[in-house]
Amino acid sequence: MSGLRVLHVSAYFAPAFVYGGPPRSILGLCRALRSAGVDVEVMTTTANGPNATLEPAVERPRIVDGVPVRYFPIAEPRWLWHAPQLRDAVQRDTPAYDVVHVHGLWHLPAWHAARAARRYDVPYVVSPRGMLEPQALALRHTRKAIAFRLVEQRNLKRAATLHATSSQESATLERRRLGPPILLAPNGVDIDRVTSANPALVLRALGLSPDERFVLFLGRIHPIKRLDLLAAAMTHLRTRDISIVVAGPDEGGHRETIAPLFEASGVRTIWTGPVDDDRKAALLTAARALVVCSDSESFGLTVAEAMAAATPVVVTRTCPWAEIEPEGAGYWVEQTAPAIADAVDRVLSDEQAARAMGARGRAVVERRYTWAESARLLARCYEGLAARRAYHAFDRGAGAPGVSKAG
């Protein structure tokens, strides 16, 4: 892997965690790739939600948790993450890399990167990050259908590899028959980070006593996360001596819509707003259960993080976690309020069984969901793509110093 240079391009990147799991996942992957010996650099925008921006770093990368990142100013109109300086940098600098890795769909940085990679004959990998799942496509469907026909279909078909983070996403890509090979490399979890926080300090700051039982939702407050369904599930709970903690950024003012539903449930609800890594780890460790009931998830990083924290999980079947029940780490249930409530009740009713579920979940993460393993799979992919590129260049007559091409 010595000398292998890979450019990662995303519309947003850490610390823009207002965008949910992808910024964390891409950071975790890039950090692990650098540990594995791959020379990774990131190009992204300064986007940090609808009304905020990060500090630019255009000429010289900023080091973020060991990863060099160039942040290019997002420009008006912000639609599609318009960043002219990023476009220019991608067009200028792509030939210096062996592989380009594009994260996400429906944004201009990805389109510029794919176009530049094709122009300079640099192989590129695309990680759709769940954006081709039916439920995700249903949001702004008309715009996405047009963009797919005009841009995304070509970008995906001409990619050297498509990267899926779950078996469900891999199956979605297979059904589309786009052509490129599909690499399944799940997201990972930094187990030490998840388990290093002191829950007592965070609970005190939130007004929770150490012995108070609570169920956790962790993620963006967005319609696709189906918090309305979670609120309805709270009304069905047989166990009433609990609280629910909703931790995450409010996207588009959706909290105002769904907060009355939680009030009507009769269960005490605590809204934390965005949480940093330490507070997130503390909440995951202290929660009696994590609930995820999204319409769609490409992976669902919070599920893996909860299991790493030895916390039982309740996940609906709209999310790609079928292994939860066979592994005994929680419940994978229908996307209905009664089914969610019944699973939460079962976790809360038997503390000893819940602890055993948590231990089994932790073991699953240790076996399957480490960043080191994901980085190993992707590094091997990059090496193969770079080697094929070098071979094709030689075969076309580029040759090598002091070597003549036969025949």
Could you identify the residue written with the tokens 């510029």? 112
Dihedral sign computed on CA atoms, order 146, 154, 380, 34: negative
Segment 341-372, tens digit of pLDDT: 999 999 999 999 999 999 999 999 999 999 99
Query: Interior CA angle at 30 toward 47 and 180, to 5°?
Result: 95
Q: Give the chain as a 3 state SS string.
A: CCCCEEEEECCCCCCCHHHCHHHHHHHHHHHHHHHCCCEEEEEEECECCCCCECCCEEEEEEEECCEEEEEECCCCCCCCCCCHHHHHHHHHHHHHCCEEEEECCCCHHHHHHHHHHHHCCCCEEEECCCCCCHHHHCCCHHHHHHHHHHHHHHHHHCCCEEEECCHHHHHHHHHHCCCCCEEECCCCECHHHHCCCCHHHHHHHCCCCCCCCEEEEECCECHHHCHHHHHHHHHHCCCCCCEEEEECCECCCHHHHHHHHHHHHCCEEEEEECCCHHHHHHHHHHCCEEEECCCCCCCCHHHHHHHHCCCCEEEECCCCCCCHHHHCCEEEECCCHHHHHHHHHHHHHCHHHHHHHHHHHHHHHHHHCEHHHHHHHHHHHHHHHHHHHHHHHHHHHHCECCECCCC
- How many other CB atoms sit within 10 Å of the CB of residue 273? 12
Segment 371-390, tens digit of pLDDT: 999 999 999 999 999 999 98
Q: Are 161 and 179 in contact (CB under 8 A)?
A: no
Token reading at 178: 């786009």
Q: Which domains does the chain have, with CATH numbers?
A: 5-188+370-398 (3.40.50.2000), 191-368 (3.40.50.2000)
Burial class (CB in 10 A: 0-12, 13-18, 19+), 2: exposed
Token reading at 64: 């973020």
Per-residue pLDDT at 396 exceeds 70: no
- How many other CB atoms sit within 10 Å of the CB of residue 340? 28
Q: Is the pTM of this model over 0.85?
A: no
First to last CA, the chain: 31
Per-residue pLDDT at 62 exceeds 60: yes
Would you call the peptide bond into 77 cis, given omega within 30 degrees of 0 as the criterion?
Answer: yes
Segment 143-168, tens digit of pLDDT: 999 999 999 999 999 999 999 999 98
Per-residue pLDDT at 403 exceeds 50: no
Segment 6-57, tens digit of pLDDT: 999 999 999 999 898 899 999 999 999 999 999 999 999 999 988 899 999 9
Mean pLDDT of 284-296: 95
Could you identify the residue written with the tokens 């530049």? 116
Measured CA to CA, the distance from residue 221 to residue 374 in angstroms comes to: 28
Mean pLDDT in the chain?
A: 92
Per-residue pLDDT at 401 exceeds 70: no
Q: What is the pLDDT of residue 36?
A: 96
**Confidence band, pLDDT 50/70/90 cuts, at residue 287:** very high
Token reading at 314: 């309740």
Per-residue pLDDT at 179 exceeds 70: yes
Measured CA to CA, the distance from residue 358 to residue 306 in angstroms comes to: 8
Segment 235-259, tens digit of pLDDT: 999 988 999 999 999 988 999 999 9
Rounded to the nearest angstrom, the gap between the alpha carbon of residue 384 and the centroid of all alpha carbons in its chain is: 25
Q: What is the pLDDT of residue 407?
A: 30
Measured CA to CA, the distance from residue 339 to residue 152 in angstroms comes to: 37
